[in-house]
A and B are shown apart, each in its own frame.
Chain A
Amino acid sequence: MSKPVTRREFLNLLGAAGGSAAALRVGVALGMLPVSTAAATPDLLDLGRANRRVVVLGGGMAGLAAAYELGKHGYDCTVLEASHRCGGRVFTVRHGDLIDEIGNRQYCDFDDEPHMYFNAGAARIPSTHRHLLHYTKELGVELEVFINENKMAWVQDDALMGGKPIRNIDYTTHTKGFMAEIMGKALSSAELDEPFTEQEAETLMGMIRAFGDLDMDDLYTGSFRAGYAKGGFLEHGVQKDIIAFRDLLKTNMGRNLLTANEGDTGPILMQPVGGMDMTIKAFEKRLEGKIRYHAMVRGVRVRNDGVDVEYEQDGVRHTINADYCFNSIPTHLMVGMEHNFPADYVRAMKYVRRGEAYKAAFQAKSRFWEDEDIYGGISWMNNPSQQIWYPTNGIHKPKGVILAAYDYGGGMFHTKMTHEERIEAHLKDGEKIHPNYRNLVEKPITIGWHRMNHMLGCSARWNRSRGGWTHDEEIMYETLQAPVNGRHYFIGDQISVHSAWQESAIMSAHWALADMDKRVRAELA
């Protein structure tokens, strides 16, 4: 049994943690306009009558964006894609699609309908990702709002309320209420309100009351914000019972629930209508004849005045002699190919670790979540499957595809299981929220990104310590970002400090294009 903390001790803790002094520090960053409103594409020189041959390795978001821009400015560009499909980790799975996980090859058996798809990789576009949004606009990719946080979705933890799922809104309303009560008490104590003027303290107290919906005595006694136990429309609503703070503290999921609309998922999120790969398809359409599929790179040789790329397609070996090469092959795969990269480059390639993210999906025989007042959004579970996502698309249609698991941290737990074991694990986890779950879902697909053919990993991981990037890691990152001989560029979200986002992939490509453009301008001057 842990020692109880008295109110006095708690207030001292607050003070020791910086308390109000920190809050009064001048916010230097305030007032600055966000830089993301800058130009969304690099201003490349039109080649005119000059010729430049470029080979792009990998037809993911970075490679296709690069090829598309180069094509607009007169470059002769070829994309080599090792797989049967473009997109890489922008992967929408539909009826009949091959999921080429090594050791767990599957064909998707979802019903053949436009809304029956699963975004197995990238799944959300934040409104601040201007470079990606620029392309969706320019390419005519129709977008819709994606529902990420849904207060009506469930929270389940075996340690919370005897394992019974509760609504997100119950958890967050009560937790915020109790937190506000503590904050209010802290503010009214002499030590802490000292730095505030009376007006400031009053304003702050007003926010605290509103944050937690405190009563007249600044106590939390429940809130209609969690909805009504009954009534609320034709008769007065009856307040739901409060869940005791001590009970709410039995789970540590609050840290996820209270920050669901912050950080990367803070902006309004969107998705292309019909699947995340609609942007990829639009690029492919505009790059017709320039993409070679099943074209597996064997070697990359950088010369002083260009790059030779050898690849194999249908058992035949080919070589492209290009002026420039944009390479989005994951660094951990490039290590195993023929190349003549300098030693510091190779050291960095070997250093980057591969991500382990894992996702699974079920076709639901009916949209049972809509009967529970849930339309889109995420239920959180404190078990390895972690999340259930309900589709924003296809509302009120007979069926839908739900995300059954998303292990975005160390996904090897499920990756190491057989396909059948994975499915059973997700059914077991999910039925803690939806009692008849295993009878409500069918046609599972599971995807361990660590084992996907031609990728063998989710997003690149550069830093290994919790304390952030080391100096050495910064140096290796800059090494891989810089071109070899001014001719070979690594691109992709792997060459960013914010991997796992399409925006990072595009920006890495634009960085490389801008750098190449400077060199081309100098040559042609």
Chain B
Amino acid sequence: MRSIVLSVLCLVGFASTSVLAADAREPVNDRYCTTCHGTDGRGNEGVQAPRLAGMEDWYLRHQLENFRAGVRGTHPQDEEGLAMQPMAAKLSDASIDDIVGWVGSWTYVPAEPTLTGDVNAGQRLYQTCATCHGQNGEGNATFNAPALAGQNDWYLVTQLQNFMAGYRGAHPQDARGAQMRTMAKSLGNEQGIINVVAFINTLGRSK
């Protein structure tokens, strides 16, 4: 039922964001997501675009708004964020609504693990993460913490690196990012990041 309602919402949103110019110009809309983020938003390692399917609607919306406002994706070292930001910068509120609904209609397919690390060491490190992101990496909206389980591991690694280096979360208006920066630093180093992500890979996700 949920997917039917979403589909209907999507169609409405789709129509409202389409622009049909008077001189028969090619109509457009802002549904670009799957070009980069892959079939049904499964994520695409080939262009380093993360999984969107299964992402919480509140988190997706918040990130789109951050990108749009330049709170995320403007640091010169944030390669992937820099590719996303100009796309989001052009989005209207209606387009964001449409995209969030569209993404919510996609079938989630579990991400394939691509890295190996010390899972036991990662599990110890993860206890800090679990406070906000949940024991099973399921996420917790109350703490503005998205689900981690089931996300592409290479994306989690890049984002933890970015948080640690201040490429993400250092913007003065990014309070949630600042909080995450502090936590990311507690992982210590590159190996810590790999280990904790290797552990997250074991959490699995069925949604």
Contact = CB atoms under 8 A, between A and B. Distances in A.
B154 to A, nearest CB: 10
Contacts of A85: 26
A299 B46 contact: no
Contacts of B40: 298
Interface in B6-28: 11, 14, 21, 23-26, 28
A74 B85 CA distance: 48
Contacts, number: 77
B182 interface: no
Contacts of B26: 84-85, 97-98
Interface string A489-512: 000000000000000000000000
Nearest to A99: B26
B90 A296 contact: no
B89 interface: yes
B82 A416 contact: yes
Contacts of A268: none
Interface in B148-181: none
Given A102-B35, A299-B39, A416-B82, A332 B47 contact: yes
B46 A333 contact: yes
Interface stretch (A30-38, A232-240, A450-458): A450-458
Interface residues of B, number: 31
Given A107-B25, A331-B46, A332-B46, A456 B86 contact: no
A107 B27 CA distance: 11
A418 interface: yes
Instruction: State the majority secondary structure of interface residues on B.
Output: helix
Interface stretch (A213-221, A241-249, A334-342, A367-375): A334-342
> Counting chain B CB atoms within 10 Å of each CB, which of A98, A102, A450 scores highest?
A102
Nearest to B91: A103
B43 interface: yes
B45 interface: yes
A336 B86 contact: no
Given A84-B26, A337-B38, A102 B32 contact: yes
A96 B23 contact: yes
B39 A338 contact: yes
Contact of B28 (A105, A299, A332, A337): A105
A332 B90 CA distance: 25
Nearest to B24: A96
A349 interface: yes
A336 B90 contact: no
A335 B90 contact: no
Contacts of B25: 96, 98, 107
A100 B28 contact: yes
Given A98-B26, A298-B40, A334 B35 contact: no
B83 interface: yes
Contact of B45 (A350, A354, A451, A453): A350
A273 B167 CA distance: 49
Nearest to B23: A96
B94 interface: no
A104 interface: yes
Interface in B37-69: 37-40, 42-47, 49
Interface string A83-98: 0110000000000111
Nearest to A98: B26
Contact of A354 (B35, B43, B47, B90): B47
B140 interface: no
B87 interface: yes
B198 interface: no
Interface string B70-109: 0000000000001101111110000000000000000000
Contacts of A337: 38-39
Interface string A328-362: 00011111111000000000011000100000000
B86 A418 contact: yes
B48 to A, nearest CB: 10
A435 to B, nearest CB: 32
Contact of B38 (A96, A331, A336, A349): A336
Contact of A335 (B32, B44, B83): B44
A405 B11 CA distance: 40
Nearest to A455: B35
A330 B87 CA distance: 21
A191 B36 CA distance: 62
A98 B39 CA distance: 24
Interface in A262-315: 296, 298-299, 315
B123 interface: no
B87 A336 contact: no
Nearest to B49: A336
Contacts of A334: 46
Interface in A397-430: 416, 418
14 contacts: A84-B26, A96-B24, A98-B25, A100-B28, A107-B21, A298-B40, A332-B47, A335-B38, A336-B43, A336-B47, A337-B38, A350-B45, A354-B47, A454-B35
Given A103-B85, A103-B88, A453-B35, 10 more contacts: A82-B35, A102-B32, A298-B39, A298-B40, A335-B45, A336-B44, A336-B49, A350-B46, A450-B83, A451-B83
Interface of B: 11, 14, 21, 23-26, 28, 32, 34-40, 42-47, 49, 82-83, 85-90
Which 9 residue pairs are nearest across A and B when measured between Cβ atoms? A336-B44, A336-B38, A103-B86, A335-B46, A332-B46, A98-B26, A103-B87, A298-B39, A337-B39
